[in-house]
Structure 1
Amino acid sequence: MPAERIREHTVPVAAARRRRLRADRARQLADLLRHQVLAGHFPGGVLPLEDTLAADYRASRNTVRQALDLLRGERLVARQPGVGTVVVCAKYPHGLDRLQGLAETLHDHGTVTNEVRAVGPVPAPAPVAERLRVPEHGDVLYIERLRRLDGLPLSLDLTYVPMDIGARLLDCDLEHTDVFRLLETLTGRPLGHAEVTLEAVNADAHSAAVLQAPRGAAVLMLERLTHLDDGRPVDLEFIRFRGDRITMSGLLRRDR
């Protein structure tokens, strides 16, 4: 291949590689800044100036700007005239290493309230019946709740409970009390363990409307099957969290 043709191919490839490396560095910086934002590291919720961030993280101004653009796209920060870049959306920590209800988990961050949107017996779908160990098509109690933290929509919870316990739940205060606490009171037994799956899913039209989130936006789906301390499964939940308002964390230990 003639030298001129080689140069023609080499220049665009090199330029594309430089752009990719800049984008990689911006994502890396955005990850570091996101952690600082969520940890409340910046006094008054105001991030340092771009020059200061560039010096602190040994990054170029362009990299800093691209990183801040990524955080703005996530609606974590915004540019405020005369102030700079400010934190506009706090995320609340939800632990994955303890079995707690939402009000117990977030009691230091505000008041959790429940809007009970639906409650009543329904025939158990086969996967629900199998996991709760109840007869297929026999009734289970279905509960749908919109959960708010200090008035802000946080999660949409769909819950299935065996009917021998669920019938008594109908007389309980589901608007102001975690189901976990009610289950322990009604059964006279403590909860033991839960099987948990966490994944990102797109919000369907119903979930998006209830959570006041854009249709198709990514939400965190927590699927949890909770057992009493004797091993009996008593609570199957499908919880859709607004991903811009919650962060999941836990302490993991390596088995030896």
Structure 2
Amino acid sequence: MTSDNPALPGARRLRADRARQVADVLRRQVLGGAYTAGPLPHEDVLAEEFGASRNTVREALDLLRGEGLVRRVPGSGTIVVADKVPHGLNRLQGLAETLHEHGEVVNEVRALGPVRAPGPVARRLGLPDGSEVVYVERLRRLNGLPLSLDLTYLAPDIGAGLDAADLAHTDVFRLIEEAAGQPLGGADITLEAVSADAHSATVLEVPRGAALLMLERLTTLADGRPVDLEYVRFRGDRITMQGRLLRDTP
């Protein structure tokens, strides 16, 4: 391991590097539920476990406190105060399906109706430029707390009956399959970090500029037809993306 001995040249930078390394491992333990039954181990114990100085461990805990995951309680030590729900990337599922073990997902429909598709959206959905699509904007809450803001463009025949559907309690994926008469086949996704704009910050109840996870997803039916293009902004402090990747044998 990298030493954080303050006598070494560049020690201040090295200790900060080590603090991030310690914080990365501790973060996964915290989010994995390792310390839900009690406080984190004492700084001396963590220093021994990580082969780091107590100052480095203290800086690592400061990073986690800055993220809102833990806080120091006088007389009790450092305790976990926040949790993130895991969102799997292995299967194509709606949010309620994915998070059913973690509570109730309720959707607040903020907009629903036909719109003229922007050119790039129409082309992604295999439609002529100028085509109408059905636009849906939903605030999605998990156990009453804002989790994501979903902007969805649907092929017109697929989205035509959504105004009569129970969008508050039903995943769009299920409604798509009912309308299409066939199952979904797959999706192409892109995941990146974005800053919360003024509108997203207000809706998701986060500070403007807060880190969000943006998921762009183009979903196709089993026959390969693209029917659903989504831009989903997740609160970065309430969700973590998880999956298992397999390396293909050449």
TM-score normalised over the length of structure 2: 0.95
Residue equivalent to 2:167: 174
CA distance, structure 2, for counterparts of residue 171 and residue 142 of structure 1: 15
Matched with 2:184 is 191
Q: Deviations over 1:138-194 (max 9, x none)?
A: 210000000000001000000000111111122111110000011111111000010
Identical-pair percentage: 70
Matched, 1:41 2:15: no
What 5-or-longer segments of structure 1 have no aligned partner?
1-13
Q: Distance in 2 between matches of 1:154 and 1:16?
A: 45
Match of 1:93 among 67, 75, 86: 86
Is 1:71 aligned to residue 64 of structure 2? yes
CA distance in structure 2 between the partners assigned to 1:187 and 1:16 by the alignment: 65
Tell me the CA shift for residue 70 of structure 1: 0.5
Cα offsets for 1:70-109 (capped at 9, x unmatched): 0111111111222111111100000111100000000000
Q: 2: distance between equivalents of 1:182 and 1:233?
A: 15
- Larger proportion of helix: 1
Q: Does residue 146 of structure 1 match 2:136?
A: no
Counterpart code for 1:171: A
Displacement over 3 Å in runs of 4+ = none
**Structure 1 residue 67, shift from structure 2 partner:** 0.1
Work out which of the residue numbers 228, 233, 238 in structure 2 matches 1:245.
238
1:55 maps to 2:48: yes
Q: Alpha-carbon deviations, 1:214-246, whole Å to 9, x = none? A: 100110000000000000001100000000000
1:19 is aligned to 2:31: no
Q: CA RMSD in A?
A: 1.1
> Which among 201, 205, 209 is matched to residue 208 of structure 1?
201
Aligned length: 243
Letter in 2 for 1:153: P
Taking structure 1 as the reference length, the TM-score comes to 0.92
Unaligned runs of 5+ in 2: 1-6
2:109 counterpart residue number: 116
String of CA shifts for 1:106-137, please: whole Å, max 9, x gaps: 00001000000111100010011000111222
Which of 152, 161, 164 lines up with 2:154 in the alignment?
161
Q: What SS is found at the alignment partner of 1:68?
A: helix
Query: What is residue 3 of structure 2 aligned with on the other side?
Result: none
2:101 match: secondary structure: coil
